[in-house]
Amino acid sequence: NAGVTQTPKFQVLKTGQSMTLQCAQDMNHNSMYWYRQDPGMGLRLIYYSASEGTTDKGEVPNGYNVSRLNKREFSLRLESAAPSQTSVYFCASSGYRLGVTDTQYFGPGTRLTVL
């Protein structure tokens, strides 16, 4: 049981390049999330997916797109990377217990630098 996994762990991009961050969970959770964390700051929600086939914007969605490929996988795409997107990106997932959403479990993060 690996929990939440993210690839890659590190990435350096040039301004204008595109890339996709991958996230997978093996806990059969319905909900998945993408956050970013800038130095010295708390996490901010980019997008979330409450269930397979649905996605919604979070606090800072501009410049990103997401795909909920299936129940296990939730990817984050940067179409044209900008230096302001230099950050650490965390994926998380949560399930249900007794009819309410359960606690959230986080992946190890992807450290992205945009030059």
Binding site for another protein (CB under 8 A): 4, 30-31, 33, 35, 40-45, 48, 50-51, 56, 58, 88, 90, 92, 94, 96, 99-109
**Shortest CB 25 distance to another protein, Å:** 12
Query: Nearer to another protein by C-beta: 14 or 42?
Result: 42
- Give me the amino acid identity at 107: G
**Shortest CB 94 distance to another protein, Å:** 5
Instruction: Enumerate residues 6+ apart whose C-beta is below 8 A from 58.
Output: 33, 34, 35, 44, 45, 46, 47, 48
Whether omega before 83 lies within 30 degrees of 0, making that bond cis, reads no
